[in-house]
Structure 1
C-alpha cells in the first residue's frame, strides 16, 4: 500500500461509519488518501472527521470550489491510482452502471480511468432487486471489481444479505486487488466450475448444490495474475469473468471432453467443479408421467475425470477439491494420494456459512509430505488468492 494514491468515495448508508476505520488503515500502511462524500453520506459522518485523518480537504460539492487553476473532480480523478466506493449504495451503483453524473462523487468516478473497487451495502430486498443485480453485473462486465456482501444482522432489525463486510476483510481484499502479482504470466490455467447436470428425461435432471462461485473466483484471480485462463463451467447464474476463455458444458461427459482437449498444453488444472458421480443408465426420450407411487432409477458411474488426469499428467500441476460432510482431513488425504494430485483443497460443505452457494469459504490445503495448511473463513475471492499463492509456490 505504501505510496498508493487512493480515492475513497463515501456514500449515504449506515455502514459508512466503518469507512473511517478503513481510511485509517490505508493511512497506517502509508497510502495517500483523499475522500469525496455524497450529500447523504454527510448525514452519517462529518467531513471534518475524514479531513483530520487524511490531512486533506474532503470533496463534497461539485460547484463549491471555483478554482481557475484546476477542476476539482477532474483533479481527483487524475490523481487517483485506485477508486474505492464504500459503502456503495444502490443509488451510486445505478449511477455508475448507466454513466449518470449529477454530483461530485458520480462525476469524479465517471472521469476516473484508474481501477475501481465497489463495496456494496444495503437492504437485502434492494440488493436482490433485479435492477440492482443487473447494475452489479454491468459493473463487473465493465471491469469494475465488486466485493460480495455478507449475510448478517441488518440495520432494519432482521437477518439478511447485504451487510457490508468488516474492515479487515475489505482491506485484505483491496490489498489483494491493488497489489496483484503477475506471477502466473505466460502460464496456461484451466479451471472447472459449477455443477454438472445428468438428464433423466427431457424435463428432469440430476444436479447438485454448486453455484460455481469458488471456481469463478479462481478463474478471475488467475487472469488478474497474468495467466491465460480457460474456464469450463457447468450451468451457473454467475456472470462470465472478464479476461478468460469461457466454455459452457452441462454433463460430466462434456466436461471430460473439454478438459482432455485442453490438458496437453496446460500448465495448471484446477478442478473446482462439483461433478456428478453417477448418471441415469437409460435416459427417457419423453417426459416420464407420475403414474406410480415409487420410481426407481438405475444409475451408472460416470468417468472419474480427476483420477484420469492424475494418471496421465506429465508436467502439469493438478489441483482437486474435496467437498466433505464428515472426516474431512482423512477423506481428503486419501483423495490426494489416490488421484495423484499436487494440491487438494478440502472444505466442509455440511456447514451452512461456507461452501455451496455461500459467498465465503474456509478450507484446508493438502500437499504431499507437508502439514495441512488451514485457511480461516473469508470471502471466496480472498480464498482464491491464497490457493493461487500455494500453486505458485508448488510451481
Structure 2
C-alpha cells in the first residue's frame, strides 16, 4: 500500500501564509503530532475511496457549537446486529481529529461502504448531529446530491457510520489539479449543491460547514454529462443556533460575517453565504477574500466582516455579468437580503444553458498547486 501523509499545526492561525482556497484543505488540518493519511492511488476493491478529509469531517481545529439532538434511532431492525454484518479492512484509509475511516464490506451482500469510526465519549455531539441530519434526509426519501447513510453500529466504544462510496473526489481537489471550472461546466455541480442545500433547508436543517472540500463528484471526469455533486460531512448540521466564541460553527473562512461577530444566530442565510464562496472559488480558483493568497486568517476575517466582494482581479476578467450578479447576491453582508437557496435555483445564471468559457490563467493554477502540503510518501507491503 502507498500512502501519502501530510503534517500540519493545530490551528489555521498558526499556519504560514497560503494561497487561494488551498489553505483550507481539510486533508491537512489535524491536531499537532497527528497525521492524515489517504491512499495515493485510492483505487480500492475496484472503486475509488471516498475522500478522507471530507468523510472525517475535519473543518479545522475548531469544535462545533453544541446543539442537543435526540439519540439516533434506527429505522431498520438490521442496524441492531450490524456490528457483525460488516468486515472492516485492516487498511486505514484515513485518521484525523474526528475519527478513523476503514474500508467496509458487508458480509451478506458484498456491498462496499466507507466506515467512519468515532469514539463515543469524545465526539458524542458531532456524532449525534451527523446521525440526526442523515436520518432526517433518509426519512424524507433521501436526496441524490446528499451522501447516503447505509448503516450504523457500535464496536469497541466507537460509533461506526457507514456511508456510500463516491468515486470522483473532492470538488476542491478538482480545482487544484485541473483549474477553475468554466461557467458551463460549473453550472451542473453548483445546481446540485444548491438543490441539496434547499432540500436541507426545507426540512429544518442547516449544513453550517459548506465548502469545496465537503462536496464530492461522482466521477473523476468532471465534464461528464452524468456527473453529479454530493454533499458530505454533517457533523455541524442542525437547526438554527447561536454561535459563541467558545464553540465555532464550520470553517472560519467560509463563515458568514454575522457568525464572526458571535452575537448572531446561525440561520439558513449562513449557508447561502457559503454557497457564494463556493461559486467564487469554483469559477476563479481563488478565495473571494484572499485573491492573491497572501492574507492571514485574521485579515480574511476582517474582509469577511466588511462584506465587500471584488471582481477586479484578473482571475475574474471573464466572468459573465450573470455570474457576478449571483455571487454578489450570495455574498450580501446583510443576511436578510440574501436569497433563499430555493430562490437561487431561479437565478438567470443557474437556468442558463450556455455560458462563455473561462480559461484558468497559469498563475492561478501554479499558486493553488504550490500551496498543497508537501507530502511524505511511505511505501509498505
The structure richer in strand per residue is 1
Whichever of the two has the greater Rg, that structure is 1
TM range (shorter): under 0.3
TM-score between both structures, scaled by the size of structure 1: 0.25
Which has the bigger relative contact order, CA under 8 A and spacing at least 6? 2
